[in-house]
Amino acid sequence: MTSADRESHDMNEMTDMTQTDIALLLADAADEAEIGIAPVGAVIRRGRRRRARRWAVAAATTLVLAGSTGVTLAVTGLPGGGHGDRTAPVATRPAPSRARHVDEPQRTDLARGLYRGKEWRVELQVWDAPRDRTEAVRQYNAMKKLRLEAAEVHKAADLIGKISFFVTRAWGEHTPQQVMYNTLENWDRPSGTDLESIATRLGWSPESSGRLVIGEVAQTAGQVKCTWNDGSSTVAVPRAGVGAPSAWFVCVAPEGRQYQNAEVIQ
């Protein structure tokens, strides 16, 4: 299981929604195995991003990167939606002590809610950079227990001096899956209208594809607007990630709608 960097494209080169729908359906068919990561589709780059990101997604996700701004992460409630769908902001966990606990990440609950009577949740994990091989082995083993795969890390020593982050999504009793991640020496701080986002499943059913949108933005952003394929939209207030120099937002599409794009509006 590996991550894949794809060529950057301009947002104007995005295909129409019919092709997007087909891509989601094809990804759905590949998502029967509920645990694991798969290479991502094309990344659309805009704004002032200067680094190549590693993205890992559970099969049946669509990745989109666009220009926007970001602040402290939160989640917005949605109009409509059957099957008991609902969502609400959740509090960020307090930052842990800065002791050398490299085998335990700093965690931020980004969002959670109900879909078909089961809880869905999104979490950010930030892992401190190990200073030596002993710390790297501890961290490597801890990640393996959580079924996390760091970017371009093939052995424990590859983690030395590098920060790792993972954004995971889970639904009900299913094992959480990483949907965004990177391992790097220095975390490039987003600024201005920078925005990176991914659209994935809300639950594990095909009809929930494209309904859960997760993204990283600059800490200066106040609001992010997620637009759905019927032209309607949802506004999210970003939330700061513990241990991260950026903020994160989560949007959920009403039932029967799917992700089209996202932008910072404030």
Q: Where residue 205 falls among pLDDT bands split at 50, 70, 90?
A: confident
* Structural domain includes residue 65: yes
Burial of 33 from C-beta contacts in 10 A (0-12 / 13-18 / 19+): exposed
- The H or E element that residue 169 is part of is strand 163-171
Q: Is the entire prediction scored with pTM above 0.75?
A: no
Q: Which domain holds residue 71?
A: 40-91+102-264
Is pLDDT above 90 for 263?
yes
Say if 128 falls within a structural domain: yes
> What is the helix, strand, coil percentage profile of the chain, to 5?
15, 35, 50
Q: Is residue 23 part of a domain?
A: no
- Tell me whether residue 111 is in a domain: yes
With respect to residue 194, please indicate whether it lies within any of the assigned structural domains: yes
Rounded Cα–Cα distance for residues 1 and 54 (Å): 13
Residue 197 has pLDDT above 60, yes or no: yes
pLDDT band at 207 (very low <50, low <70, confident <90, very high): confident
Are the beta carbons of 124 and 179 closer than 8 angstroms?
no
Is residue 33 one of the residues assigned to a domain?
no
**4 in a structural domain:** no
Nearest CA to 66 out of 232, 217, 246 is that of: 217
Domain count, the chain: 1
Examine residue 22 and state whether it is found in any structural domain, yes or no: no
Which residues does residue 57 pair with via DSSP β-bridges, in sequence order? 38
